[in-house]
Amino acid sequence: MALVTPGGCARLSVAPTVNVRRRMTTFATLSPPRGETVDWVEATNSFFERDSRPIMLFDGVCNLCNGGVRFVRDNDRNRRIRYEALQSEAGSKLLRRSGRAPDDISSVVLVEQDRSYIKSEAVLKIMEYIDLPFPQLAFFLHFVPLFLRDFVYDNVANNRYTIFGRSESCEVYYD
């Protein structure tokens, strides 16, 4: 028990010890480790062994995303970007490499050999790879604070099926 004295200090008094038996109930236990952990960067390095171009991950059934891929492909005369649907096995592995859940299709992702970009950062980085005037536009859009760019991005992404619809299957894009 603590008593406060006029000086503001606390004085403790000790109560006599009493033996009280308490029942212990187990609420949770630690699970044993599940095998080995996977180094997703190492596991996906083969994607960049023969071809070092970045990979644009997109929602393969989203009409807006498919239109975005067509736009990038049409404005990328030098074929500097590759494409992969988020729903594919490769897309799932590359999402994990990027630190995302393997089933997270909420954002476009650009995966480079040494780094990944998501949301508005991915869009701006993609713009840097395609033809003029988009690299210059990306330069100026970097002056817009990230939280504002991602706010706009998230609002469009969260309503993309409602506004633009979805397709039954993923379009395949070849280089």
What is the chain's pLDDT, residue by residue, as a tens digit (175 residues)? 444 444 444 444 444 555 555 554 444 444 455 555 888 888 899 999 999 999 999 999 999 999 999 999 999 999 999 999 999 999 999 999 999 999 999 999 999 999 999 999 999 999 999 999 999 999 999 999 999 999 999 999 999 999 999 887 766 555 5
Domain of 88: which CATH number? 3.40.30
Which of 72, 155, 53, 56 shows the shortest CA–CA distance to 108?
56
> By three-state DSSP, how is residue 158 classified?
helix
The reply to whether 96 falls in a domain is yes
Note whether residue 93 is domain-resident.
Answer: yes
Q: What's the domain count of the chain? A: 1
pLDDT at 125: 97
Among candidates 119, 120, 117, which has minimal Cα distance to 144? Answer: 120
Range of the domain at 99: 42-164
